[in-house]
């Protein structure tokens, strides 16, 4: 049935119709089918569930809802059963039968699929009691669990497009801009620029038509919050965009999505189509007389294209290179017309602010950074996934309370925020509140929300080299400081990692960073200094170990590490011998295996496969001399 | 004359020869004449083959142009749609041929140099044919700290190629990618449209072996 919504009352009517058609008691299985859970097999699970339901003739009596990302990707595939909101984790296709026969039919909870609290060993029945969720404030992500992103009715049933109706029929465009300004919403893409001010600039700028744009070119490695919103709740972003367009006076919008997110492209395209069919987008929106159109533009894989001027030039069909911003894009952007570009998460906040008011929004977070922020908490932390927290929470709370601390009982070393151009934050600053200004003070930045935790096994010099290498490759080459400066920095860092560095190199690196920061054309170059500066400032000892002692403290840098088979632990099982790709290991039954250092390429396979932890890493690369023909000392297998 | 068989050509030659005789041009011995005619027939066949090849090539060009036309028509002759058109072509053929570039330039009225700049700037495009299966090993930060480079090395060693290359049998093309957005499951690798998470060097190689086995069974 296609209905076109005209007026606020009709939206209400349609919503109550949708709700009346739904029985709250009808069981519903909601399964995450976003990229993370799919890679863990959630689609197979869906198929099995369908089979099981069909077998029992329950296909019409149970809803299967395929939802977007629920955050806790580590323990996927994730599944929730309504009514009762029973959360299951790590569900395998084989569990489908039990889920239908026990939970759906008998209403019994399957204990083995519940979350186990690692500290108490207790199985947790309620989602809110799981530490990972308990300390979060899930505003934007909350509905991901309740919405099938391919179905506009789900969004409307939860009160969707009511903010748009309020904006169109009860507010003047100026009032909307004023409300956003008053809310203190700041750009979630990383810059932290006040959103309302940006809107006002575009609104007042001369020139027609005006454009509004969504930036979903989430190029920061280690960040996937925009993907989760686009895949899981595309109508929320779209509603925010339409409200923005109305407030700014734009008639055309663009959604820029990176091509590496095929599902996000699919879902937003479908959302646009559905909104158009129902009169929520296109000509004469909801009968208000306001017309607005949206197009999806897929990026083609270039990190720098996330920069505002580069992104606009990419939409124009050209190479995504930045230009100087003497005149802001808010005044002269896409095709030299006033253009307002905001991040996915920024747009997603708009409907909430319009509906609940600026004062409500200001009550969350800190006075200078109100609201929530989604982070992708990844790396060496126990609970990886997406977390949404109120601004002002400390890094320690995020990493240790929500994240559950470091994996395998290792020691925390640093957390890196803001993607490749952010900085490293060491342990002593973990009590810093997370907001735009505090992180910048530490030499890092909020960035789009990547939060990568590193433990004692992570080499800071190696990761810095990784970032510089990444930025060097992604540099568009237009300005000299970025193109040549990063090249030299990379060369120096490579030298240090290979044990060929000198202390003078550190000064050169700092000089180069200053140059990058002051002379580069766009933010890719200016912020490229952050990882270099913060790593030298907070982890100088690691650089010194590499340079002076030829030692990599984390035993990561290949040239400074040697693998050695401890004769006291080796059980001559032959596993390393078989797995070694270059036949560098010799040995036989009952005779301790020996690694030939001249042949070894330091790939680390023996270290990874040894069931007795007999293979040890040495840095500096001077292991004890190898002895051939030593008899094995038998011992019990270590666990 | 395209449909003539070898024997037909030979008979045709003999026919011409008989005309020679009737005209009194029978000076050279018959065996020599036959040899000459055979050579002529072979040359003719070679030329025919070349024409066939050209015909095939032309058919390819026509097919290529039709394919481009389909995509261009979807977006209209709008220069700003260039990247979207190229993305669609890349997805369809797994690479972008010289002919496609030339034809896009013709239809969108964009200089070839500008198209070449775009194609070489963005990572999504390939100017070389890719293998049947595209392996993308994630080297994003989250995967990097969890051992992504070790996965890459293991795959490179196993396939005997470096990133950006295709195996000689045309089965696999190996590429690195900056982030697949599955950071919670690192290290991650993507083969075609399937994601593989929480990999170890050994399990990554096993995935590829399985695909290879599946191919040889086909």
Q: CATH number of the domain at B133-217, please?
A: 3.40.30.10
Interface-testing mutation among A222, A310, A420, A470, with chain B (most B C-beta atoms within 10 A): A222
Domain range list for chain B: 6-57, 64-121, 133-217
Given B86, B179, B197, which is nearest A40 (Cβ)? B197
**Would the CB atoms of B179 and A319 count as touching at under 8 Å?**
no
Q: Which residues contact A326 (CB under 8 A, 6 or more apart)?
A: none
Given A36, A450, A476, which is nearest B182 (Cβ)? A36
Tell me the chain B residues in contact with residue A419 when contact means C-beta distances shorter than 8 Å.
141
CB A453 within 8 A of CB A380: yes
**Would the CB atoms of A419 and B141 count as touching at under 8 Å?**
yes
> Residue A117 carries which DSSP code?
P
What sign does the CA torsion over A368, A373, A377, A383 have?
Answer: positive
Distance from CA of A300 to the nearest CA of B (A): 5
Tell me the chain B residues in contact with residue A605 when contact means C-beta distances shorter than 8 Å.
154, 201-202
Q: Kindly indicate the confidence band of residue B28, based on its pLDDT and cuts at 50, 70 and 90.
A: low
Return the structure tokens found at A53: 């339901």
Interface-testing mutation among A317, A458, A524, A578, with chain B (most B C-beta atoms within 10 A): A317
Farthest CA pair distance, chain B: 91
- ipTM of the assembly? 0.82
CB A220 within 8 A of CB A448: yes
CB A219 within 8 A of CB B139: no
Place of tokens 């575009």: A202
CA-nearest residue to A421 within chain B is B141
pLDDT of residue B24: 63
Would the pLDDT of B25 be above 70? no
Given A35, A74, A474, which is nearest B181 (Cβ)? A35
pLDDT per residue as tens digits for the range A357-387: 999 999 999 999 999 999 999 889 998 889 9
**Would the CB atoms of B80 and A317 count as touching at under 8 Å?**
yes
Percentage of chain B beyond pLDDT 70 is 95
pLDDT of residue A639: 45
B124 touches chain A (CB under 8 A): yes
**Would the CB atoms of B79 and A378 count as touching at under 8 Å?**
no
Distance from CA of B83 to the nearest CA of A (A): 6
Peptide bond into A620 cis (omega under 30): yes
Mean pLDDT for chain B overall: 87
Distance from CA of B164 to the nearest CA of A (A): 14
B141 touches chain A (CB under 8 A): yes
CA-nearest residue to A455 within chain B is B145
B95 touches chain A (CB under 8 A): no
B20 touches chain A (CB under 8 A): no
Query: Splitting chain A (639 residues) into consecutive groups of 10 residues, what average pLDDT does each group show?
Result: 82 92 88 87 92 90 90 87 90 92 90 88 89 92 91 94 96 96 92 93 94 91 88 96 97 92 93 95 94 94 85 90 86 92 96 96 94 92 92 94 91 90 91 91 85 92 93 90 95 95 95 94 89 94 95 92 92 89 88 91 88 91 87 69
**Would the CB atoms of B185 and A314 count as touching at under 8 Å?**
no
pLDDT of residue A1: 52
CB A282 within 8 A of CB A252: no
- The overall pTM is greater than 0.80: yes
B203 touches chain A (CB under 8 A): no
B180 touches chain A (CB under 8 A): yes
**Would the CB atoms of A227 and B144 count as touching at under 8 Å?**
no
Given A224, A317, A420, which is nearest B79 (Cβ)? A317
Query: Which domains occur in chain A, in start order?
Result: 25-82+86-125 (3.40.30.10), 152-362 (3.40.50.11540), 372-455 (3.10.20.600), 460-548 (1.20.1440.230), 561-618 (3.30.70.20)
Convert A93-132 to b/e letters by CB count within 10 Å (16 or more is b). bebbebbbeebbeeeeebeebbbeeeeeeeebeebeebbb
Convert B180-215 to b/e letters by CB count within 10 Å (16 or more is b). bbbbbbbbbbbbeeebbbebbbeebbebbeebbeee
pLDDT per residue as tens digits for the range A576-609: 988 888 899 998 888 999 999 999 988 888 998 8
Tell me the chain A residues in contact with residue B197 when contact means C-beta distances shorter than 8 Å.
36, 39-40
Q: Kindly indicate the confidence band of residue B123, based on its pLDDT and cuts at 50, 70 and 90.
A: confident
Q: What are phi and psi of A139, to 5 degrees?
A: -90, -55
> Residue A106 carries which DSSP code?
I
Given B86, B144, B180, which is nearest A260 (Cβ)? B180
Distance from CA of A250 to the nearest CA of B (A): 19
Q: Residue B44: count other Cβ atoms within 10 Å of its Cβ.
A: 15
Distance from CA of A331 to the nearest CA of B (A): 21
B125 touches chain A (CB under 8 A): yes
**Would the CB atoms of B183 and A314 count as touching at under 8 Å?**
no
A393: exposed, middle or buried (C-beta count within 10 Å: 0-12, 13-18, 19+)?
buried
CB A461 within 8 A of CB A543: yes
């Amino acid at each position: 049935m296609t209905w076109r919504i005209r007026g606020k009352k009709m939206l209400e009517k349609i919503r109550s119709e949708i709700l009346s058609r739904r029985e709250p008691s009808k069981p519903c299985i909601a399964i995450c089918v976003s990229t993370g859970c799919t890679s863990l097999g959630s689609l197979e699970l869906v198929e099995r569930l369908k089979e099981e339901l069909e077998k029992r003739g329950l296909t019409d009596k149970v809803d299967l809802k395929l939802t977007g990302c629920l955050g806790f990707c580590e323990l996927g595939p994730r599944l929730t059963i309504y009514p009762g909101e029973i959360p299951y984790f790590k569900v395998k296709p084989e569990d489908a039968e039990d889920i239908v026969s026990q939970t759906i039919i008998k209403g019994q909870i399957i204990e083995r699929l519940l979350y186990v609290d690692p500290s108490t060993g207790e199985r947790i029945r309620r989602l809110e009691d799981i530490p990972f969720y308990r300390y979060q404030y899930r505003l934007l992500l909350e509905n991901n669990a309740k919405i099938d992103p391919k179905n506009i009715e789900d969004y409307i049933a939860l009160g969707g497009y009511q903010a748009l109706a309020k904006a169109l029929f009860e507010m003047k465009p100026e009032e909307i801009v004023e409300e956003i300004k008053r809310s203190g919403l700041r750009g979630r893409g990383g810059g932290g620029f006040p959103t309302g001010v940006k809107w006002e600039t575009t609104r007042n700028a001369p020139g027609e038509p005006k454009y509004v744009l969504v930036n979903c070119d989430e190029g920061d490695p280690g960040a996937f919050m925009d993907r989760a919103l686009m895949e899981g709740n595309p109508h929320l972003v779209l509603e925010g965009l339409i409200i923005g367009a109305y407030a700014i006076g734009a008639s055309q919008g663009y959604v820029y999505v990176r091509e590496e997110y095929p599902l996000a492209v699919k879902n937003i395209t479908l959302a646009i189509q559905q909104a158009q069919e129902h009169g929520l987008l296109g000509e004469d929106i909801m009968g208000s007389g306001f017309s607005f159109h949206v197009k999806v533009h897929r990026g083609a894989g270039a990190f720098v294209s996330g920069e505002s001027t580069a992104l606009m030039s990419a939409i124009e069909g050209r190479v995504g290179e930045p230009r100087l911003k003497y005149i802001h894009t808010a005044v002269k952007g896409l095709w030299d017309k006033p253009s307002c570009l905001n991040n996915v998460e920024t747009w997603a906040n708009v409907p909430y602010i319009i509906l609940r008011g600026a004062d409500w929004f200001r009550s969350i977070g800190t006075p200078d950074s109100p609201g929530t922020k989604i982070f992708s908490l990844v790396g060496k932390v126990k609970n990886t996934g997406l977390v949404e927290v109120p601004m002002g929470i400390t890094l320690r709370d995020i990493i240790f309370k929500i994240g559950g601390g470091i994996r395998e009982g290792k020691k925390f070393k640093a957390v890196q925020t803001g993607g490749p151009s952010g900085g490293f934050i060491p342990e002593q600053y973990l009590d810093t509140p997370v907001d735009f200004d505090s992180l910048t003070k530490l030499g890092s930045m909020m960035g789009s929300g990547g939060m990568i935790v590193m433990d004692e096994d992570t080499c800071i010099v190696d990761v810095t080299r990784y970032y510089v290498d990444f930025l060097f490759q992604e540099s568009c080459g237009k300005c000299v400081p970025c193109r040549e400066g990063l090249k030299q920095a990379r060369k120096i860092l490579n030298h240090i990692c290979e044990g060929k560095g000198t202390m003078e190199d550190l000064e050169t690196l700092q000089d180069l960073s200053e140059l990058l920061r002051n002379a580069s054309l766009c933010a890719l170059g200016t912020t490229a200094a952050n990882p270099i500066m913060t790593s030298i400032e907070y982890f100088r000892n690691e650089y010194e170990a590499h340079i002076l002692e030829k030692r990599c403290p984390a035993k990561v840098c290949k040239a400074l590490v040697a693998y050695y088979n401890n004769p006291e632990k080796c059980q001559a099982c032959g596993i390393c011998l078989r797995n070694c790709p270059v036949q560098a290991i010799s040995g036989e039954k009952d005779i301790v295996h020996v690694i030939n250092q001249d042949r070894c390429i330091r790939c680390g396979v023996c270290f990874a496969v040894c069931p007795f932890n007999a293979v040890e890493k040495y840095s500096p690369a001077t292991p004890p001399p190898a002895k051939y023909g030593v008899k094995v000392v038998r011992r019990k297998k270590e666990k | 004359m395209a449909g003539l068989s070898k024997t037909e050509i030979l008979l045709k030659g003999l026919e011409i020869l008989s005309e020679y005789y009737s005209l009194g041009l029978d000076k050279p011995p018959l065996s020599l004449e036959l040899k000459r005619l055979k050579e002529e027939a072979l040359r003719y066949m070679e030329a025919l083959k070349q024409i066939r090849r050209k015909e095939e090539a032309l058919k390819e060009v026509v097919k290529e142009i039709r394919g481009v036309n389909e995509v261009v028509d979807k977006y209209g002759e709008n220069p700003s749609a260039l990247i979207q058109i190229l993305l669609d072509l890349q997805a369809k053929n797994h690479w972008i041929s010289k002919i496609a570039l030339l034809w896009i330039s013709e239809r969108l009225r964009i200089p070839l140099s500008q198209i070449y700049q775009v194609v070489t700037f963005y990572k999504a495009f390939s100017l070389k044919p890719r293998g049947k299966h595209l392996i993308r090993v994630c080297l994003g930060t989250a995967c990097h700290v969890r051992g992504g480079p070790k996965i890459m090395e293991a795959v490179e060693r196993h396939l005997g190629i470096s990133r950006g290359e295709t195996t000689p049998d045309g089965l696999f093309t190996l590429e690195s990618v900056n982030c697949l957005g599955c950071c919670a499951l690192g290290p991650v690798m993507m083969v075609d449209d399937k994601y593989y998470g929480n990999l170890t060097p050994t399990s990554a190689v096993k995935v590829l072996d399985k695909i290879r086995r599946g191919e040889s069974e086909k």
